[in-house]
Structure 1
Amino acid sequence: MTTKSGGTAPTFSPPHIGTLILLAGISALAMNVFLPSLPGMAAYFEVDYRLMQLSVALYLGVNAVVQILVGPISDKMGRRPVILTSILLFLLATLGCIFAPNAEVFLFFRMAQAAIAATMVLSRAAVRDIYDTDKAASMIGYVTMGMAVVPMISPAIGGVLDQAFGWQANFWLLVVLGLATYALTYFDFGETAQKSGKTLIAQFREYPELFRSPRFWGYSLASGLASGAFFAYLGGAPFVGTQVYNLDPAVLGLCFSAPAVGYFLGNFVSGRYSTALGVNRMVLWGCVINGGGVAVSLAIAIAGLDNLYTFFGFMTFVGIGNGMAIPNATAGAISVRPHLAGSASGLSGAIMIGGGAGLSAMAGWVLVPGATAVPLLAIMFATAILGLVAIILVIKREKALRL
Structure 2
Amino acid sequence: MTGDNAAQTSRSQMTAASAATSPIAAPRLITLILLSALSVLPVNMTLPALSNIAATFHADLALINLSVAGFAIFSALTELVAGAMSDRYGRRPVALAAISIFVLASLGCAASNDIGTFLLFRMLQAAIGACFSISLVIARETSGEREAASKFGYLAVGWAIAPLLGPTFGGLLEEFFGWRACFLALALLGAAALALCSRELKGPATRVSGPRRNYLASYRQLLGSARFWAYTLCMICSMGTFYVFLGGAPLAVGNSLNGSSTQLGLYMGMVPAGFILGSYLTGRYASRFQRGSVVVAARSLTCIGLLVGLALSMSGVTYILAFFGPCMFIGIGNGLTMPAANTGVMAVRANLAGTAVGLAAAMRIAGGALISSIGGLFLAEQHAVQVLFGIMLTIASLALSAALAAAIIDRRTSE
**The TM-score by the shorter chain falls in which range?**
0.7 to 0.9
Partner of 1:391: 403
Distance in 2 separating the partners of 1:375 and 1:103: 41
The answer as to 2:346 corresponding to 1:351 is no
Distance in 1 separating the partners of 2:309 and 2:179: 31
Cα pair 1:60 1:354 within 8 Å, conserved: no
Counterpart among 220, 224, 227 of residue 212 in structure 1: 224
Aligned residues: 388
The answer as to 2:61 corresponding to 1:47 is yes
Counterpart among 297, 300, 307 of residue 288 in structure 1: 300
Per mean C-alpha deviation after superposition, the further-off stretch among 77-86 and 63-72 is 63-72
Partner of 1:331: 343
* Amino acid in structure 2 at the alignment position of 1:280: G
Q: Which digits, 9 at most, give the CA deviation of each residue in 1:285-321, with x for residues without a partner?
A: 22233344455567777869375x6666555322211
The gaps in structure 2 that reach 5 residues or longer are: 1-23
Q: Which digits, 9 at most, give the CA deviation of each residue in 1:196-239, with x for residues without a partner?
A: 12566535422222111101110111122212333455677799
Cα pair 2:237 2:371 within 8 Å, conserved: no
Distance in 2 separating the partners of 1:291 and 1:105: 46
Counterpart among 273, 279, 285 of residue 261 in structure 1: 273
Distance in 2 separating the partners of 1:241 and 1:88: 44
* Amino acid in structure 2 at the alignment position of 1:305: T
Partner of 2:33: 21
Per mean C-alpha deviation after superposition, the further-off stretch among 357-366 and 61-70 is 357-366
Distance in 2 separating the partners of 1:369 and 1:106: 39
How far residue 66 of structure 1 moved from its aligned partner, in angstroms, is 1.4
| TM-score relative to the length of structure 2 | 0.76
Counterpart among 347, 352, 355 of residue 340 in structure 1: 352
Counterpart among 288, 299, 318 of residue 305 in structure 1: 318
Cα pair 2:253 2:385 within 8 Å, conserved: no
Q: In structure 2, do the counterparts of structure 1 residues 361 and 41 end up closer, same or farther at CA, with 3 Å as the change threshold?
A: farther
Counterpart among 22, 30, 35 of residue 42 in structure 2: 30
How far residue 59 of structure 1 moved from its aligned partner, in angstroms, is 2.9
Q: How does 1:45-84 map to 2 (within 5 A)?
A: 45-48=59-62, 55-84=67-96
Distance in 1 separating the partners of 2:376 and 2:331: 20
Distance in 2 separating the partners of 1:374 and 1:95: 48
Q: In structure 2, do the counterparts of structure 1 residues 380 and 169 end up closer, same or farther at CA, with 3 Å as the change threshold?
A: farther
* Amino acid in structure 1 at the alignment position of 2:135: S
Per mean C-alpha deviation after superposition, the further-off stretch among 138-147 and 335-344 is 138-147
The answer as to 2:169 corresponding to 1:188 is no
Cα pair 2:277 2:335 within 8 Å, conserved: yes
How far residue 325 of structure 1 moved from its aligned partner, in angstroms, is 0.2
Q: In structure 2, do the counterparts of structure 1 residues 401 and 364 end up closer, same or farther at CA, with 3 Å as the change threshold?
A: closer
Cα pair 1:67 1:349 within 8 Å, conserved: yes
Q: How does 1:143-222 map to 2 (within 5 A)?
A: 143-161=155-173, 169-191=181-203, 195-197=207-209, 201-222=213-234
The gaps in structure 1 that reach 5 residues or longer are: 1-11
Distance in 2 separating the partners of 1:56 and 1:377: 28
* Amino acid in structure 2 at the alignment position of 1:127: A
| TM-score relative to the length of structure 1 | 0.78
How far residue 24 of structure 1 moved from its aligned partner, in angstroms, is 0.6
Distance in 2 separating the partners of 1:35 and 1:317: 27
Per mean C-alpha deviation after superposition, the further-off stretch among 309-318 and 389-398 is 309-318
Q: In structure 2, do the counterparts of structure 1 residues 402 and 186 end up closer, same or farther at CA, with 3 Å as the change threshold?
A: closer
Q: Which digits, 9 at most, give the CA deviation of each residue in 1:170-190, with x for residues without a partner?
A: 444322322221121112222
Distance in 2 separating the partners of 1:261 and 1:154: 15
* Amino acid in structure 2 at the alignment position of 1:277: F
Distance in 2 separating the partners of 1:159 and 1:45: 20
Cα pair 2:299 2:333 within 8 Å, conserved: yes
Cα pair 2:252 2:381 within 8 Å, conserved: no
* Amino acid in structure 2 at the alignment position of 1:221: L
Partner of 1:319: 331
